[in-house]
Amino acid sequence: MSLILSIETSTTVCSAAIHDDGRLLGGAEVHIEQSHASKLAVLIDGLQAQTGITLDQLKAVGVTSGPGSYTGLRIGTSTAKGLCYALGIPLLAVNTLELMAHQIMPGNTEGALLCPMIDARRMEVYSLLQRQEGEILQPVEAKIIDGQSYVEWLEQERILFFGNGAGKCREVITHANARFIDGVYPTASRLGELIFEKFSQGAFEDLVQFEPFYLKEFMIKKAGEAQPG
């Protein structure tokens, strides 16, 4: 058995799951903003009770590497690294946007392009553009959305836009080939599938050097301004 704990904290939803060889044994999530610090350990404890798996049985811990909420990523990474240090097991990581695309793939029967979006500031999102088969057409970037965004691709193919950054783009990206999917967020229950692939390949992170992929420098909150994480 390859029992792996997966942790996802890069957006407003906090989740954790345990997989055995990529097969989901149990998952839990909390949909309360800014609750990651207080709820993540509770979720992990609950998973042990739910599955009967104890932490000392784990073979690895997986986490989303970002982009996403600065605070959320720090909480998820520090928890994962702490467990790996304590248990003497490896750390694995998956890009958050790639996870979101992976979650949509089974339902993308028309083979549309995939554009996961994580909300940033104002009309900015963290996004990438890829094909159903995984080919990256536009790499991960912080992108300011306007009426011309993705037009060169939309003229040729349909694009599925999804994630918590997509909703605010619906009235701006109005091309007939644009499709918006609501309710999509990265979840540890699906993260474990990709983490197991990396585990099987031995694609472990450097436990000392690993840091989340923030994409942008953290911005100190100023009076009257929103903070990206």
Q: What is the pLDDT of residues 193-228, one digit of tens each?
A: 999 999 999 999 999 999 999 987 644 444 344 444
Question: How high is the pLDDT of residue 229?
Answer: 47
What fold characterizes domain 97-181?
Nucleotidyltransferase; domain 5 (3.30.420)
Range(s) of the chain covered by CATH 3.30.420.40: 3-96+186-201, 97-181
Question: How high is the pLDDT of residue 187?
Answer: 98
Compute the distance between CA of residue 26 and CA of residue 45 in angstroms, rounded to an integer: 12
Question: How high is the pLDDT of residue 215?
Answer: 83
Task: State phi, psi for 171 to the nearest 5 degrees.
Answer: -85, -5
pLDDT under 50: residue ranges of the chain: 218-229
Compute the distance between CA of residue 77 and CA of residue 69 in angstroms, rounded to an integer: 12
Question: How high is the pLDDT of residue 226?
Answer: 44
Question: How high is the pLDDT of residue 178?
Answer: 98
Question: How high is the pLDDT of residue 137?
Answer: 97
Question: How high is the pLDDT of residue 33?
Answer: 87
Quick one: three-class SS letters along the chain? Answer: CCEEEEEECCCCCEEEEEEECCEEEEEEEECCCCCHHHHHHHHHHHHHHHHCCCHHHCCEEEEECCCCCHHHHHHHHHHHHHHHHHHCCCEEEECHHHHHHHHHHHHCCCCCEEEEEEECCCCEEEEEEECCCCCEEEEEEEEECCCCCCHHHHCCCCEEEECCCCHHHCCCCCCCCEEEECCCCCCHHHHHHHHHHHHHHCCCCCCCCCCCCCCCCCCCCCCCCCCCC
Range 3-96+186-201: architecture per CATH: 2-Layer Sandwich (3.30)
Q: What is the pLDDT of residues 174-183, one digit of tens each?
A: 999 999 999 9
Question: How high is the pLDDT of residue 37?
Answer: 94
pTM: 0.92
Question: How high is the pLDDT of residue 103?
Answer: 98
